[in-house]
Amino acid sequence: MLVRRAALIEAVRKTTDGLTDTKLARVDDETWLDVWRWESGEALDAVTAVAPTWPEAQAAFALVQDATVERLDLVDER
């Protein structure tokens, strides 16, 4: 899973410089939280419009069950 995730992150970064940070956390053996920080909503929109066709995205998401996506605006960071 980590290899496929890394390949997807690399593919995204080759396409845009809008991905500024990623963090992966394990909740339990079957639940993970993968947070991707974007420079802007527009940068995210540009990648999500084309990424589903990429082999790297297809390989990474083939491992995912019950995926959800949440967009948020960061209010405070210390």
Q: Tell me, what DSSP letter sits at residue 30?
A: T
Query: What is the distance between the alpha carbons of residues 78 and 67, in angstroms, rounded to a whole number?
Result: 29
- 57-71 pLDDT, tens digit per residue, is 999 999 999 888 889
Which H/E stretch holds residue 22? strand 19-28
Token pair of 73 as six digits: 């605006």
| pLDDT tier, 42 (very low <50, low <70, confident <90, very high otherwise) | very high
Q: How far is CA 8 from the centre of its chain?
A: 8
| pLDDT tier, 1 (very low <50, low <70, confident <90, very high otherwise) | very high
Contacts of residue 35, defined as CB under 8 A and 6 or more positions apart, other chains included, come to: 22, 23, 24, 25
* Domain spans of the chain, in order of start: 2-61
| pLDDT tier, 32 (very low <50, low <70, confident <90, very high otherwise) | very high
Q: Average pLDDT over the chain, rounded to whole?
A: 94
